Structure 1
Amino acid sequence: MPTLVLLHGGGPGVDAATNWAGVRSRFAADFPCLAPDLLGFGSRIAGTAGLRGPHAWAIARARQVLDLLDHHGLDRVHLVGNSAAGGAAALALLAVAPHRVERAVVMGGAGTGPPPTAVPFYDKPTRASMRATLGRLVADESGHEELLAELTELRLKHALRPAAEGAFRAMFADTAGGPPPVDLAKITTPVLALHGERDRVQPVAVSERLAEALPDGHLHVVAGAGHWIHVDRPDEFTKLVGEFLSA
Structure 2
Amino acid sequence: MPALLLLHGGGPGVDAASNWASVRAGFDGEFRCLAPDLLGFGTQIAGTGGLKGPRAWALARARQVLDLLDRHGLDRVHLVGNSAAGGAAALALLSVAPDRVDRAVVMGGAGTGGLPATVPFYDNPTRRSMRATLGRLVADEGVQEGLLDELAELRLKQAVRPGAEAAFRSMFADVVGGPPPVDPAKITNPVLALHGECDRVQPVEVSERLAESLPHGRLHVVAGAGHWIHVDRPDEFTKLVGEFLSA
Q: TM-score range by the shorter chain?
A: over 0.9
Match of 1:177 in 2: 177
Alignment-derived partner of residue 128 in structure 1: 128
CA distance in 2, matches of 1:96, 1:54: 16
> How many Å apart are 1:157 and its aligned residue?
0.1
Q: Tell me the equivalent position of 1:8.
A: 8
**Letter of the aligned partner of 2:132 in structure 1?**
A
Q: Which residue of 1 aligns with 2:70?
A: 70
Matches within 5 A, 1:24-103: 24-103=24-103
Equivalent pairs: percent with the same residue?
A: 81
CA shift, 1:115, in A, is 1.1
Aligned to 1:23: 23
Opposite residue 112 of structure 2, the aligned amino acid is: T
User: 2:223 corresponds to which residue?
Assistant: 223
- The Cα of 1:132 is off from its aligned counterpart by 0.2
5+ long unaligned stretches in structure 1: none
Paired residue for 1:236? 236
Counterpart position of 1:117: 117
| Residue of structure 2 in register with 1:189 after alignment | 189
What's 1:143 paired with? Answer: 143
SS across alignment from 2:220: strand
Runs of 4+ in 1 over 4 A off after TM superposition: none
TM-score under structure 2 length normalisation? 0.99
Amino acid at match of 1:85: A
The structural deviation recorded for 1:2 is: 2.1
State which drifts further: 175-184 or 188-197: 175-184
Structure 1 residue identity aligned to 2:31:
F
Tell me the alpha carbon deviations over residues 179-225 of structure 1, each in whole angstroms, 9 at most, x when there is no partner.
11101110000000000000000000000000000000000000000
- In structure 2, list runs of 5 or more residues that go unmatched: none
Report the Cα distance in structure 2 between the residues aligned to 1:90 and 1:177, rounded to whole angstroms: 21
Residues paired across the two proteins, number: 247
* TM-score, structure 1 as length reference: 0.99
For 2:13, the aligned partner's letter is G
CA distance in 2, matches of 1:138, 1:45: 26
Equivalent position amino acid for 1:166 in 2: A
Please tell me the residue identity of whatever aligns with 1:10.
G
Q: CA RMSD in A?
A: 0.4
User: Equivalences for 1:150-165 in 2 at 5 Å?
Assistant: 150-165=150-165
1:177, distance to aligned residue in structure 2 (A) = 1.4
The residue number in structure 2 matching 1:107 is 107
CA distance in 2, matches of 1:165, 1:10: 12
The letter of the residue matching 2:53 is: G
